[in-house]
Structure 1
Amino acid sequence: MAGDSLVFFDETTDIEALVAEAKRQMRRLSPNDVELTAAAQAREGEVWSPQLLPYEEWVSERAGEASASTEMLEGQEIGLIYTGAYSMGGISDEELNSVLERAMAGSHLARPESSAVLAPRLNGASGDELSIRDVVSVREDEGGYALSGFDLKSLARATGADDDLVVVLPAFVGDVPIVRITAEAFARRYVQGVGVRALIVPDTVACIDADAFSAVSAGHIHLGSGVERMGDMPCDLAGVSPRLGRRAYSVDPDNAHYSSSDGNLLTKDGAKLLFIAPPYASDFVIPAGVREIGSVALCTGCEPPRIVRCPETLDRVAARGWDDAVWICSPASRVGIALTARGVRLASDGVVQSDDCFYDFNDEGALLVAGPAAPKSISKRFAEAAAARHAGMADQSPSAAIKQAVPPARTMLSLPNEVCGRPLVRIGVRALPFAPETVVFPDTVRTIERDNACKGTKRLVLPEGLESIGAHSFCSRAFDGAVVIPKSVRFVGEGCFEYAVCKLAHTGSTVHISADQLLSCFCESGEDGVPFNYARYDELLLSGKNLPDRLGALISRVADPHRAPDEVCSALVERLRERGSDARKRVAQNGDRDEVAALLAAGFIDDATFDEQIELLRSCNRADCVLFLMEEHRRSNAAASRPSSSSRARFAL
């Protein structure tokens, strides 16, 4: 320990001992040691904020002149250059000197008196020693002072260390207590690059503003007995420098408003969980007695749990950082209803894990609650390795860690027919937000609930027997070829299969799906059992709105005009003729005999386009289509006897 220092290096002393010593010997600063700012007061009804005087007036006032003047005091110019360069942040003394030398080269600013003015700013008031006044600032507040500035970077440089530091905040300025820590006291420019092992808040502090410690890389924060109110304090382990591997809170036992347990921060009665200490176990248990989880209780920048087990007392979860986990709670409970409404996956205590998937059970059979987790990217693995090394949990460098062999990414998910002897009949809400390249559902599945986007899937096999597909499912936008929708499907929700090509087994039709949910053509099946609104689809084709492949959609629709009135068919053929050359090339490249026959019957292939279509089919080696067209031509022109030099005659049988 380091006596009454505000900041000192200590990597071995127990945290409890550090807190006890800080409580026994509270830091007291002299009024002459700090920069004191008088609190500004706005008049009633006035919107006021402090503003710097115009530049020329400020110079004149400092010079003691009555009128504005452009003449500066000695060293003022260099002071402005210094301030501008230093405010860039993260600049070393060597870099700063280089900036100043370039700025002053060939200028009158390079005079000796300017350097003399700058020297005290760089070295502190007494040469090598740093003045507390330069790094600690307070302002008047109700009941005492508010800590408004704490330059941890400067204090760390004076200490000679930038990691494993212990920060003991001052309790008094003279005989006046520090009762508040403002949001800007630990601004990022003051703390960037400094690792704090413990930050100790004295007993005199009653209020801590929101975000006051959010930029500090502090592994442990202790709240004194006097803290009555603390604003939201979000924690991003990856968003501070150096990156954190863990953070924990402790609270003085005499505090009447807050308490701590295992590094977690709670209200005094333990009913509200304000902060959950990371890192998190894969199977996380929320402490018993908790009724509410605060909005910033969950850290970001670390691996969240896959399962969260809730106590019966839990009523509300304001934080959303773990919405991708599986929550073990009753769907009928108050918290269960709220979590279900925002798409969180729920399960009972009987949930089982198999092949990296989680299954639950009900009266119908088995239910897929959550599929495999999305694979980690290289950047995420690097960040996790860096955090683990900095936190002392690993010795290996991040670069070496990402070069290690990892299990190959899963390419196929084939769900089982049975789980623990029960048939798999349902895919739960958001069970598959991500999925491997190939997903195969068993023929026992009857319902796929909403929000199963299957991001990353390229091949999808839906079973005959499936009856319902919930909204916003299968939005991969990466499917290879058409997705077959089984004849048994009676309902497809809005937003499904966006930007995909689907083949409806009910009619054999191929349809192209828009990504605009307001233009969704899926619906509940009508009398013919087809869950698709063809009339609306025809309107979409004629308008050309937001289709990934309008030409392909027009060709498919003209080739299979299911439920289309004659006037709509004629309009679709006209739209296709507007892109006649491109359409004929597409037919030659991708069409089959049945499609060519349908286009011929619809009138798209006629006497005017027959020769061009034949030549294109021949160049693509589509012999079956060529033979079909020539046979149709022979039948329709059997009575013709005059010779012809056209391609029809050349390819006639």
Structure 2
Amino acid sequence: MNTNSLVFNDSITPIDKLIEHLIKNCPALAVRDVHVVDAARASEGEMWSPQLLAHEAWVASKEKASGADGDLLRVGALGMGLSDEERTRVLAQATHRSTQERQPEALREQEGSEGDLRGAIEVRQDTDGYAIVGVDLHRFAQTCGGTEDLIVALPAFIGGMPVVRIAAEAFSRRRVQGVGVRLLVVPDTVKRIGAHAFLALSAQCIHLGCNVEVLGEQPCDLAGVSPRLARRSYSVDKHNKHFSAHRGSLFSSDGTRLLFLATPSTARVELPSNVEYIEAAAFATGCEPPAVVVCPQTLARVDTKAWDDAVWLCPHGAPACHALRRRGVRLAGPRAFEQDGCWYDFDEDGAVLVAGPPKPASVSRRFAEQAAAFAAAVHGIAGDAAGVDGALSPSAVAAQAATEFAASGEAGSTVGYVSASASEVLALPREVAGRPLVRIGIRALPFAPASVVIPDTVRVIERDNACRGTKRLVLAEGLERIGEHCFWSRKLEGPVLIPASVHSVGKGCFEYAVCRLEHTKTIIHVSADQLLSCFLADPPDEIPFDFARYDELLRTGKNLPDRLGAVLHRLAMPFRLADDTRDVLVSYLRDHERETQERVARDGDRVMVEALVHAGFIDERTFDRQIELLRACNRTDCVLYLMEWHREQGGQSKPFSSRDRFAL
């Protein structure tokens, strides 16, 4: 163990022994060893707020000034009333002072280059002691001869005065980036630590002294520091009256407030039994979150949102249940269990889906895993054949992994994640543990496979089941309610059938999708703007769609992915369609006549053709071109209908012969 008590390098000695050694040998520095930053203060009687003379007085002084016209410097408007001699003297004083201020900095840089830490710590004098406002870890690393596994002990005294505070900017990113600290010891004299003081610091363990009273919020992003952290933990002096530590986690002195949970965490995390409040920075980011969080009965408040995607096993009587459910956390009771990758719970009506299959790995992560596996295989082969062929370079390994990844067909995917198979299907069971599946919980399916089948036992789908990645969706008859912001993957194929039993659909559902309302036999095109949603929740007539608002949307065409198709489907089944709106829609079709005729021939059916005839779009003028396009697309039923209609209108003097019908 090195005897330098301010900073040294150690990767072997246990943390407990290091802390004990540094507490007994707490460093103290002289004033000349640090850089004292003077806080800006107003002198007695001095006012820092801008003081300007009244406009009238300034004009009067301008009139009294002497000098040639146009000479602003002489009249004082630019020279602020100073003579040439006075201005020269002020500039000379400023230049001399600037030179004096730069001289100590140059000396400090020269001393630092020789391995001295003088000036590496910046402090500011407060009323009750010193505050550390800057720690240059690059100077520390230069002294130790390495940038990893540094043991840093902050000074307790400077010139006989205690260090009582660590400012929020003490470990700013420009001072600590690229330096890894194994242990940071905060001395016993420190009472207050600013918020986000350790945000940019790559420290594996932080020890708090016995007198720390105020600790600002300290978020931790393991991937946002350099070098990247694999873990972080806290240690607290046993005599501290405000904070405590247990297995690397930081708590209040009584253990009811969780300030930070030690990382890395396992797939299943059990919170201590007496925790009541989880603070906003309690869970680290930049690492793999747990799949399950087991909560105690005493839990009353959770401010952090880092693990909202996990399944929270929380007793129903816990005070935090209501707030967590309102926030969208996937809650389950103690009876919840996992089956086929999904979590289920039970209520008085039956089984509830709490969480669907886990989110598949992203494209970048799958590539990283393949590259790591390929690199390990290459290095293993190279290790066996060392001295014969030699190992591949890192760039060659990455290039080979990228080639294999591109050949797998996943490199060009634009989906938020890549499924293991294009035919992947999630068919939820009708029964779970002998009880019917009646409800899909809040955010149970934020991600889902390409095909999702909801059984006929499900009555309610709660909000925020986005099903991102789903292309084919089957909703069975018997479903009654669909919550807000469901099924907005924007990749749903074909008209999605909304059963007639559904009488309530929340806003923001089925974005960019084409849906068929079985209750009214109409096909609707859903806008991408949630503010323009036409779905209704609990309407009096149990038809969960506002056709009047939808018609206004068709008039403007705002944020409709396929306005022409939406207009054609609306005219094909004119449920609650006003006459004036129909005329406007037909006028729109006439403005896009050629494109409309081609679309009808390609995608239309006899019902659509009949509706367009009754609406007046297909008439004597457009008859010939429309029937030729239908004939080219082999739409025999539509052609026969138009020929019969044309004959009834007097366009054909004699009926068709069998030969003419066969020609059609």
Smaller-chain TM-score range?
0.7 to 0.9
**Structure 2 counterpart of 1:28, which letter?**
A
Equivalent runs, 1:169-188 vs 2, <5 Å: 169-188=154-173
Give the alignment's TM-score, normalised by structure 2: 0.82
Query: Is the deviation greater in 140-149 or in 576-585?
Result: 576-585
Distance 2:366 2:475 in 1: 34
SS at match of 2:21: helix
Aligned to 1:412: 425
Distance 1:251 1:289 in 2: 19
User: Would the aligned equivalents of 2:164 and 2:192 in 1 still touch at CA under 8 Å?
Assistant: yes
Change over 3 Å in CA distance of 1:235–1:481 after alignment to 2: same
**Structure 2 counterpart of 1:193, which letter?**
G
**Structure 2 counterpart of 1:152, which letter?**
L
**Structure 1 counterpart of 2:30, which letter?**
S
Change over 3 Å in CA distance of 1:520–1:119 after alignment to 2: closer
Pick from 444, 448, 460 the counterpart of residue 457 of structure 2: 444
Deviations 1:536-563 (A, max 9, x none): 2112212322222111110100111012
1:328 is the counterpart of 2:317: no
SS at match of 1:334: coil
Aligned to 1:58: none
Mind listing any 5+ residue stretches in structure 2 that lack a counterpart? 51-86, 374-379, 384-393, 409-417
SS at match of 1:133: coil
1:136 is the counterpart of 2:121: yes
Distance 1:482 1:198 in 2: 60
User: Would the aligned equivalents of 1:471 and 1:493 in 2 still touch at CA under 8 Å?
Assistant: yes
Aligned to 2:150: 165
1:622 is the counterpart of 2:654: no
1:295 is the counterpart of 2:280: yes
Aligned to 1:366: 351
Distance 1:629 1:241 in 2: 73
1:354 is the counterpart of 2:367: no
Aligned to 1:222: 207
Aligned to 1:612: 625
Instruction: Count matched residues.
Output: 588
Deviation at 1:384, TM superposition (A): 9.0
Distance 1:506 1:38 in 2: 76
User: Would the aligned equivalents of 2:39 and 2:124 in 1 still touch at CA under 8 Å?
Assistant: yes
Q: Percent identity?
A: 52
Distance 2:311 2:183 in 1: 34
User: Would the aligned equivalents of 1:33 and 1:131 in 2 still touch at CA under 8 Å?
Assistant: no
Distance 2:541 2:339 in 1: 40
1:66 is the counterpart of 2:82: no
Aligned to 1:193: 178
Equivalent runs, 1:157-556 vs 2, <5 Å: 157-380=142-365, 408=420, 411-524=424-537, 529-556=542-569
Deviation at 1:513, TM superposition (A): 1.1
Change over 3 Å in CA distance of 1:497–1:46 after alignment to 2: farther
1:588 is the counterpart of 2:579: no
SS at match of 1:204: coil
User: Would the aligned equivalents of 2:165 and 2:190 in 1 still touch at CA under 8 Å?
Assistant: yes
Deviation at 1:133, TM superposition (A): 2.7
**Structure 2 counterpart of 1:22, which letter?**
L
Aligned to 2:24: 24
User: Would the aligned equivalents of 2:351 and 2:432 in 1 still touch at CA under 8 Å?
Assistant: yes
Aligned to 2:8: 8
Aligned to 1:57: none
Deviations 1:279-326 (A, max 9, x none): 112211111111100111110001111211111111111111111112
Deviation at 1:615, TM superposition (A): 2.8
User: Would the aligned equivalents of 1:358 and 1:371 in 2 still touch at CA under 8 Å?
Assistant: yes
Change over 3 Å in CA distance of 1:117–1:175 after alignment to 2: closer
SS at match of 1:305: coil
User: Would the aligned equivalents of 1:284 and 1:307 in 2 still touch at CA under 8 Å?
Assistant: yes
Aligned-CA RMSD value: 3.5
SS at match of 1:132: coil
**Structure 2 counterpart of 1:615, which letter?**
E
Change over 3 Å in CA distance of 1:2–1:251 after alignment to 2: same
Change over 3 Å in CA distance of 1:529–1:335 after alignment to 2: closer
Change over 3 Å in CA distance of 1:261–1:379 after alignment to 2: same
Aligned to 1:107: none
Deviations 1:356-378 (A, max 9, x none): 11000112111000111211214
Deviation at 1:145, TM superposition (A): 0.6
SS at match of 2:527: coil
Deviations 1:370-419 (A, max 9, x none): 1112112143467899999xxxxxx9999699989999368321111111
SS at match of 1:68: helix
User: Would the aligned equivalents of 2:504 and 2:539 in 1 still touch at CA under 8 Å?
Assistant: no
**Structure 2 counterpart of 1:32, which letter?**
R
Deviation at 1:533, TM superposition (A): 1.9
SS at match of 1:440: strand
Distance 2:48 2:490 in 1: 51
SS at match of 1:8: strand
SS at match of 1:457: coil
Change over 3 Å in CA distance of 1:578–1:16 after alignment to 2: same
Deviation at 1:637, TM superposition (A): 2.7
Distance 1:35 1:119 in 2: 13
Deviation at 1:520, TM superposition (A): 2.1
